[in-house]
Each structure stands twice: as C-alpha cells, then as structure tokens.
A and B are shown apart, each in its own frame.
Chain A
Amino acid sequence: MPDFLLFALVGGLGVALIAGPLGAFVVWRRMAYFGDTLAHSALLGVAMGVLFDLNVNLAVVSCCLLLALILVSLQRQHLVATDTLLGIMAHSSLSLGLVAIALLDDVRVDLMDYLFGDLLAISPTDLYWIYGGGCIVLLLIWRLWNSLLAITINEELAQVEGVPVARVRLTLMLLIGVVIAIAMKVVGILLITSLLIIPAASARRLANSPEQMAIIASLLGMVAVVLGLYASYQFDTPAGPSVVVAALIQFLLLYSLPFRRTV
C-alpha cells in the first residue's frame, strides 16, 4: 500500500472514531446546523492562518472555538432565533473566509481541498493532530459522559441534580469545534457534518442504549472510511465525498432492512 493511502486510512479511521460519540450528541441535541456553522467558519481560520503565518491547524481550531463562544454568548441575548443566528454566522464566516483568501494574492490556496477535503494529502503531522486532539476529545467525553447524557435528557432536571449545565454544554460545543477543525482535512468544510450525523443516525437503528449508539456510530464511520477510500483508489473518485457516499449507503441499507427497533 502506498504511504499516502496508509496515512489517509489511519487519519480517516481516527476521525471517524472521534466523530462517533460526538455525532450521537449532535443528533440527539439537534445540533446539525450548529456543526455546519462551525465548519463554515473553518475557512476563515485557514485564511487567518495563512495571513498571520500561523500553523493552519491551530488557526482553524482557534477560529472554530472562538465562533462557538460567540454563538453561545449571542444565543443568550435572544436577539434573533437561534437558527437565524446560525444561518447568519455560517454564511458570513464562509464568505469572509472566501474574501480573505482572495485578498491573499501572494499565496495560492486550493479552495477545493478545503471545501471537499484532501484525504490523500494527509501528512504525518496531520496524524499527530488527529490522534492527539482525538485523545483529548475522547477523554473529556468519557469523563463527562453522565453529565452530557443528563443535559441531553433535560437541562433543568440536570441543574437541580447538581450538574453544572452551562459548563457541560459549553464543553460539548467546544469539543464539536475541535472535531470539526480536525475532520476538515478528511472530508472538507462542506461535508464535515455528514461524517458526524450519518453514522450516528445509522447507528440509531442498531442501538439499544446511548453507549451502544456512540460506539456503533464510530464503527460504522470507520467502515465508511475504509469503503470510501477503497472506492476512491479503485475508481479514482474524490476521497472525501466517496467516504460520505459510503456512509449514505450504510444508512439507506440499515433503514431499509425490515426489522423493528425495540428501544
């Protein structure tokens, strides 16, 4: 197997692993649009990174986290409905990113790589980011698991029972921000949320508990990465979108199978 394919495979598997449990929360808490908004802001992060000569990964993570914080504070002020707010932020940050990149005339940035991912260009440094960041994310999810479930069931109930709701919710948003920044390399800005949502939604068909759903989502995501990469290598299709198509096929298969879920 050529090196680039090995790196792509290892990187993709890492991202799918982290995306599983977080994707489950995105589905349960209906945060898909929130994920999209953070993803769109990642391009602004790329532009900022290039502009200020920072590490692009670091700039993207910072940009996603900053946007998550701004969103939380604006949400509290109830200026406009949350989905309107998300819509404004998603498309403004994407446009700002595109404009900023166009203004950087001495640098060539290949937009397609960022919009749709460049899985086959994953470098060993990227792998450090994926696995380093991934370990932190998974560790935090593991530590906060019960609190995260509690706020997903009912935030007020959780608050009465002593869960620091605001802090846990903010942490979840920041974790999603980190994962999006990490996953951008694999499937690109426009497709990231699908990697969070599709495997988790497919996993719902098979899961009887929240824990099962998180784990099955990770496994399905990893299978989608393998299948997508294989297809990409075999048929010379773009890697990121091929992974998403593989996830979609899983989803369609699982939902067309004639069995009833029990829980």
Chain B
Amino acid sequence: MSLVDVNNLSIIYGENSVVSNVSMQLKRGEITTLIGPNGAGKTTLIKAILGLITPSAGQVIRSDSLQIGYMPQKLHIDPTFPLTVERFLKTAAFSSIQDRLQALEAVGAEKLLKQSVHSLSGGETQRVMLARSLLRKPDLLVLDEPAQGVDVNGQIELYNLIAQIRDRYGCAVLMISHDLHLVMAATDQVVCLNHHICCSGHPAQVSNDPSYIELFGIPGAENLAFYSHHHNHQHDRRGEIINAKTDISEIPGENHSSHCGGDH
C-alpha cells in the first residue's frame, strides 16, 4: 500500500514544461531521494506532492488522513520576530513539554529548547525544523534539501539522523539532495529527475572506495555508498534529450525506466 501515488504528473508554466509525465510511489518506511541538476523541477515536483501546486496533467493520490511533515528549503524568519525554539515547536501542533523535548532529543538538539531561532547555526536550524515536523507525527516526511548550509560532517550526521527517524517512526521520507554520494547508503529508492524521470531504482550497496574513507573518516565512510550511475542519454542545457544511446540494462537493480517521457 503506498502512501502517495503520483500518476503521469506534468506541470507546465506557460510554455515551460517543468515536470513532465512523472510517476512514482512513496511507501511507508522507505526513503526516496530525488536527485537532479538545478532547475530540474525537483522542488516543483515535491510542491505538487504536498498539494501546494495544482498539476497541469496527471494526479497525486494521497492516502486518507495522510499526515505530512514538511521541511522547506529555507526558513526566513524576520529578526524582529521574537521566537524561541520552544515557541517555534509549539506552532506545529498541540504538544506537551515532554513531546517537545522528545522531538528535540530525537534530532539531538535538546539543548536548544530555550534558544532564539535567530541564533541557530545552519545545522541546528535543520535539526529544529526536523523536530518540529516530528511533532506532527507524520506518515510522510518531505525534506527539501535538508543538508543545505551544513558542512560535510554535519551532512553525514543529518542523513544518518533521517534514516534513524525513519526506523524509529516508520514513516516514509521523500527528500531532495544534491549530495549523491552522501545519501545513497540510507536511500531505498533514488529518482533522478531532469523534468522527466531519467532513471529510478535501488542504489547499489556500500562501496569501500578508499578515497571516500580518506575524505570523511571511518564513521562517515560506513554510511557512504557509491552509486554507479550511468545514463543512457544526455541532456542539453534545457533538459532536452540529446544523443540517446540504446543499451539500457547495464546497471543491476536499476529500473530504467518505464516512466521516462524521453525518447530513448
């Protein structure tokens, strides 16, 4: 049973087809990572899944009474807005002080309870936003570039945390990420989007590529998988497909791709 079914979704602004003919499913307990170049329509796609944008064609079917926890790309709170982390958490849903502490503890940020949201670092802000979405007891967590503005070690921690949260709460996770190599280990399904779905499938198992271990240290490297990632076509700058090759099935485990609207 999937929580969200996206069927042949297209979003067209004027003459620009931002998302074209995308189909995907989000299932409980699964982490789905959306990757793709800038301007590939990733944020537009998740906004359609969230119901913030009405699709031009196709549909998004959400299961009944689906609770969504959303973490936007950035939070712009005006500095004139006096807000502690605690008060910020209170805006999510009705919650007791225990709930709030528990949510903060789940993201390793319990010390921040009384702090001003304006004094948080990038990583702390992301953790607090994550804690806030947990307070809504979500079936689905939607994270738009959760690791933005966080240094590399912090990013590894954050992706670990997201996997832990999935294990602990059993929710589905949909996230956008640019850090291909960092998210792979904790991802069940990768969707590579460039307006249409280029490819999707399970990432390959952890690779013990020495250069990664060297770069991030042992704890980090344990969570790094190398995702062998080949496309059978190339794109020009506007995402149009050029130079399509014919061989498809060289990568095991990769479902290449019946959703793809491109002409292969």
Q: Which A residues are within 8 Å of any B CB, using their own CB?
A: 27-30, 146, 149-150, 152-154, 156-157, 159-161, 201, 204, 207-210, 212-213, 261-263
Q: Known: A160-B50, A160-B70. Is A153-B82 also a contact (CB below 8 A)? A: no
Q: Known: A146-B91, A161-B92. Is A152-B75 also a contact (CB below 8 A)? A: no
Q: Known: A150-B91, A210-B82. Is A156-B77 also a contact (CB below 8 A)? A: no
Q: Known: A30-B78, A153-B77, A153-B88. Is A159-B52 also a contact (CB below 8 A)? A: yes
- The residue in chain A whose Cβ has the minimal distance to the Cβ of B136 is A161
Chain B residues contacting A159 (CB-CB under 8 Å) are: 51-52
Q: Is the CB of A209 within 8 A of B75?
A: no
Which of A149, A152, A156, A209 is the one whose CB lies under 8 Å from B52? A156
**Bound: A152/B88 CA distance, A:** 11
Residues B74-128 near A (CB distance < 8 A) = 75-78, 80-84, 87-88, 91-93, 116, 118
Which of B68, B78, B87 is the one whose CB lies under 8 Å from A160? B68
Interface hub of B83, B87, B118, B142 (most chain A Cβ within 10 A): B83
Can you list 6 pairs linking A and B with CB atoms under 8 Å apart? A27-B78, A152-B81, A153-B83, A156-B52, A161-B70, A204-B82
Give 10 closest A-B pairs by Cβ, nearest first. A263-B116, A160-B70, A263-B82, A28-B81, A207-B82, A27-B80, A160-B50, A204-B80, A28-B78, A213-B82
**Bound: A4/B24 CA distance, A:** 71
Question: For chain A, what secondary structure do more than half of its interface residues adopt (helix, strand, loop), or is it mixed?
Answer: helix
Which of B72, B77, B83 is the one whose CB lies under 8 Å from A209? B83
Q: Is the CB of A209 within 8 A of B84?
A: yes
Known A157-B70, A209-B87, A212-B82; 11 more pairs at CB < 8 Å:
A153-B91, A154-B77, A156-B47, A159-B51, A160-B52, A161-B92, A208-B82, A208-B84, A210-B82, A263-B82, A263-B83
Residues B123-140 near A (CB distance < 8 A) = 136
Q: Is the CB of B72 within 8 A of A156?
A: yes
Q: Is the CB of A149 within 8 A of B78?
A: no
- The residue in chain A whose Cβ has the minimal distance to the Cβ of B74 is A154
Chain B residues contacting A262 (CB-CB under 8 Å) are: 116
Chain B residues contacting A153 (CB-CB under 8 Å) are: 75, 77, 81, 83, 88, 91
| Chain B interface size range | 20 to 34
Question: For chain B, what secondary structure do more than half of its interface residues adopt (helix, strand, loop), or is it mixed?
Answer: loop
Q: Which B residues are within 8 Å of any A CB, using their own CB?
A: 47, 50-52, 68, 70, 72, 75-78, 80-84, 87-88, 91-93, 116, 118, 136, 142
Q: Is the CB of B75 within 8 A of A210?
A: no
- The residue in chain A whose Cβ has the minimal distance to the Cβ of B77 is A153
Q: Is the CB of B87 within 8 A of A210?
A: yes
**Bound: A201/B72 CA distance, A:** 28
Chain A residues contacting B75 (CB-CB under 8 Å) are: 153-154
**Bound: A160/B68 CA distance, A:** 7
**Bound: A156/B48 CA distance, A:** 12
**Bound: A27/B79 CA distance, A:** 10
**Bound: A159/B84 CA distance, A:** 22
- The residue in chain A whose Cβ has the minimal distance to the Cβ of B79 is A204
- The residue in chain A whose Cβ has the minimal distance to the Cβ of B116 is A263
- The residue in chain B whose Cβ has the minimal distance to the Cβ of A213 is B82
Chain B residues contacting A156 (CB-CB under 8 Å) are: 47, 50, 52, 70, 72
- The residue in chain A whose Cβ has the minimal distance to the Cβ of B70 is A160
Q: Known: A146-B91, A154-B75. Is A160-B82 also a contact (CB below 8 A)? A: no
Chain A residues contacting B70 (CB-CB under 8 Å) are: 156-157, 160-161
Report B108 CB to chain A, min CB distance, Å: 22
Report B94 CB to chain A, min CB distance, Å: 10
**Bound: A153/B118 CA distance, A:** 12
**Bound: A146/B87 CA distance, A:** 11
Q: Is the CB of B80 within 8 A of A28?
A: yes
**Bound: A150/B88 CA distance, A:** 9
Q: Is the CB of B81 within 8 A of A210?
A: yes
Report A35 CB to chain B, min CB distance, Å: 15
Chain B residues contacting A30 (CB-CB under 8 Å) are: 78
- The residue in chain B whose Cβ has the minimal distance to the Cβ of A201 is B80
Report B118 CB to chain A, min CB distance, Å: 8
**Bound: A210/B52 CA distance, A:** 27
Report B66 CB to chain A, min CB distance, Å: 11
Chain B residues contacting A207 (CB-CB under 8 Å) are: 82
Q: Is the CB of B52 within 8 A of A29?
A: no
Report B151 CB to chain A, min CB distance, Å: 24
Q: Is the CB of A210 within 8 A of B83?
A: yes
Q: Known: A159-B52, A204-B82. Is A149-B91 also a contact (CB below 8 A)? A: yes
- The residue in chain B whose Cβ has the minimal distance to the Cβ of A152 is B81
**Bound: A159/B70 CA distance, A:** 10
